[in-house]
């Protein structure tokens, strides 16, 4: 599956596009979903049925359902269908609408653990909203920086102080601006949590303030740990030193964070690519078909997935025994095909129909042989893989019939000899299609 096809799988799985989503589910294997823990952080793990192309750590935003949110599950499973291992941590505080340095520490721990599991040692951090800001901050941590191939940041904030000023005074860059009650609750709750155990009055005074002229003085009066958290949880603080590719995405009319946050962050990041799209409502995909935006979003997703591949595409062993096993299965299918064709043709079935039916019979035999004998795969995704095998088989059977007709009617060969020649001619392209698309394997 090429990168853009994998991107379509992810986007269709997430957005639930009518017909397309059903088609994607029918032609891709259901990933395996499990759970583990990194330190004290629960982590959902989504694994593809075939060897993984790479590892992605998905970081969700503030939601009461955490990583169990249906949209989060759809996106993670879509990435699994596309061939990637996905780790989704249930980061501390996000379910309660709280963000503290402990949330960032847990993000760093999960990123390191994911990189250790990944054979290439490199991962992609893919975050939305608060998770996007956490992904950028975690990538700047020395324990993580060399392990991250790319950060995908969808609708992050840049400057925690600027957003707090927006929440309390209704101003952004000295201009009136709006946000949502969810953002207000998230930031006020986070600040209240940071001040717990100490003098909470300075934080309460800041949150109750509506006067822009008093904001700086009230901020200066905050406890040292709270002011330090403002710096620690602001991606803008570390942006100029983050020498990692960043795919930065923002909605054109994001009602949560002003578009100025996106532009400030993109300007500060050395290797950022900012995409402003009308297909997002903050982080939720809108059911709209605007041609240029759809293409841009698909390309962005493809780049993000390619970054997760690193140097390890799924590979098939290049041992000498494997080609011999494939030839053995092919010879068996060849015999089944000719025997079935001869049986049907001798009983008066037209040679075109006999060739088509004979190929289908051999196709079923060769699927079982190639799956278990040639490539030594397990039972996972048996019927969905067989559907792909059958679709390719139908195409090959049709082409075989056309070749046979050309040999019989155009050249005048005997139908039995023509069938044998047609099978030999169609074998190379059929092998490539079965291997690359049906079993999704790449030669070593």
**Where residue 276 falls among pLDDT bands split at 50, 70, 90?**
confident
pLDDT digits (tens, 9 = 90+) for 10-41: 777 777 666 667 777 777 788 999 998 888 89
* Residues listed for the chain: 444
What per-residue confidence (pLDDT) applies to 63?
Answer: 83
The answer to whether 332 touches 369, Cβ cutoff 8 Å, is yes
Query: What number is the average pLDDT over the span 170-189?
Result: 83
> pLDDT tens-digit profile of 354-366?
888 888 888 889 8
Quote the tokens at residue 393: 């088989």
Predicted local distance difference test score (pLDDT) of residue 18:
65
Q: Tell me which of 126-140, 221-235, 368-382, 405-419 is least confident.
A: 368-382
Place of tokens 């192309």: 53
- Report the pLDDT value the prediction gives residue 165, as an integer from 0 to 100: 87
pLDDT at 313: 41
**3-state secondary structure at position 154:** strand
Pairing of strands 41-47, 32-38: antiparallel
Q: Is the pLDDT of residue 1 over 60?
A: no
At the topology level, CATH places domain 3-159+234-309 in: Rossmann fold (3.40.50)
Between the alpha carbon of residue 201 and those of residues 195, 222, 417, 426, the distances in Å are: 9, 9, 93, 79
DSSP label of 211:
-
Q: Is 211 exposed, middle or buried (0-12, 13-18, 19+ CB in 10 A)?
A: exposed
d(CA 433, CA 413): 28
Q: How confident is the model at residue 443 (pLDDT cuts 50, 70, 90)?
A: very low
Q: Is the pLDDT of residue 418 over 60?
A: yes
* Candidate from 25-29, 188-192, 415-419 with smallest mean pLDDT: 25-29
Alpha helices in 201-286 (DSSP H): 201-208, 212-220, 224-232, 235-238, 259-268
pLDDT at 323: 65
The sign of the dihedral angle between the CA atoms of 113, 114, 118, 123 is negative
Percent of the chain at pLDDT above 70?
A: 90
Predicted local distance difference test score (pLDDT) of residue 197: 66
pLDDT over threshold 60, residue 312: no
3-class SS string, 372-427 = HHHCCCCCCCHHHHHHHHHHHHHHHHHHHHHHHHHHHHHHCCCHHHHHHHHHHHHH
Identify which has the larger pLDDT, 293 or 177.
177
Residues of the chain with CATH 3.40.50.1820: 3-159+234-309
Query: How far, CA to CA in Å, does 122 sit from each of 44, 249, 335?
Result: 19, 22, 47
407 is written with which tokens? 């040999």
* 7 pLDDT tier (thresholds 50, 70, 90): confident
Least confident stretch, 249-253, 349-353, 405-409, 439-443: 439-443
Q: Structure tokens of 120?
A: 């290439």
Top pLDDT among 197 and 262 is at 262
Reported confidence tier of residue 288, pLDDT bands at 50, 70, 90: low
CA distances from 94 to 60, 101, 262, 363 (A): 8, 12, 22, 51
Q: What span, in angstroms and rounded, lies between the C-alpha atoms of 435 and 140? A: 40
Q: Give me the phi and psi of 42, to 5 degrees please.
A: -65, 140
Q: What's the average model confidence in pLDDT over 193-220?
A: 81
Question: What is the Cα Rg of the chain in Å?
Answer: 28
Nearest to 375 by CA among 312, 438, 332: 438
């Amino acid at each position: 599956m090429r990168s853009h096809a994998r991107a379509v799988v992810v986007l269709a799985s997430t957005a639930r596009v009518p017909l397309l989503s059903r088609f994607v589910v029918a032609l891709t294997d259901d990933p395996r979903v499990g759970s583990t823990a990194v330190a004290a952080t629960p982590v959902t793990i989504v694994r593809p049925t075939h060897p993984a192309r790479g590892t992605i750590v998905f970081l969700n935003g503030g939601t009461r359902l955490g990583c169990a949110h249906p949209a989060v599950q759809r996106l993670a499973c879509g990435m699994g269908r596309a061939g990637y291992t996905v780790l989704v941590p249930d980061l501390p505080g996000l379910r309660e609408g709280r963000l503290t340095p402990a949330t960032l520490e847990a993000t760093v721990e999960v990123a390191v653990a994911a990189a250790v599991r990944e054979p290439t040692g490199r991962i992609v951090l893919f975050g939305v909203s608060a998770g996007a800001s956490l992904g950028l901050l975690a990538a700047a941590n020395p324990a993580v920086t060399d392990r991250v191939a790319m950060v995908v940041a969808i609708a992050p904030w840049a400057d925690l102080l600027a957003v707090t000023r927006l929440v309390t005074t209704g101003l952004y860059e000295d201009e009136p601006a709006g946000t949502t009650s969810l953002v207000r609750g998230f930031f006020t709750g986070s600040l209240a949590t940071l001040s717990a155990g100490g003098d909470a009055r300075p934080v309460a005074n800041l949150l109750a303030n509506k006067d822009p002229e008093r904001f700086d003085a009230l901020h200066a009066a905050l406890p040292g740990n709270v002011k330090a958290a403002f710096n620690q949880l602001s991606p803008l603080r570390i942006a100029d030193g983050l020498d990692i590719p960043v795919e930065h995405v923002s909605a054109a009319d994001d009602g949560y964070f002003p578009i100025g946050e996106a532009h400030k962050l993109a300007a500060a990041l050395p290797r950022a690519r900012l995409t402003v799209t009308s297909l997002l409502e903050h982080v939720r995909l809108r059911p709209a078909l605007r041609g240029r935006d759809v293409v841009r979003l698909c390309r962005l997703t493809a780049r993000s997935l390619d970054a997760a591949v690193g140097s390890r595409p799924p590979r098939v062993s290049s041992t000498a025994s494997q080609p011999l096993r494939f030839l053995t299965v092919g010879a068996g299918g060849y015999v089944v095909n000719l025997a079935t064709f001869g049986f049907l043709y001798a009983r008066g079935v037209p040679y075109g129909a006999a060739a088509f039916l004979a190929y289908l019979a051999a196709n079923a035999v060769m699927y079982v042989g190639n799956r278990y004998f040639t490539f030594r795969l397990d039972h996972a995704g048996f019927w969905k893989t067989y559907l792909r095998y059958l679709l390719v088989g139908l195409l090959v059977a049709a082409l075989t019939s056309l070749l046979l007709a050309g040999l019989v009617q155009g050249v005048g060969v005997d139908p039995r000899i023509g069938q044998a020649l047609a099978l030999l001619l169609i074998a190379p392209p059929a092998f490539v299609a079965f291997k690359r698309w049906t079993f999704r394997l790449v030669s070593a």
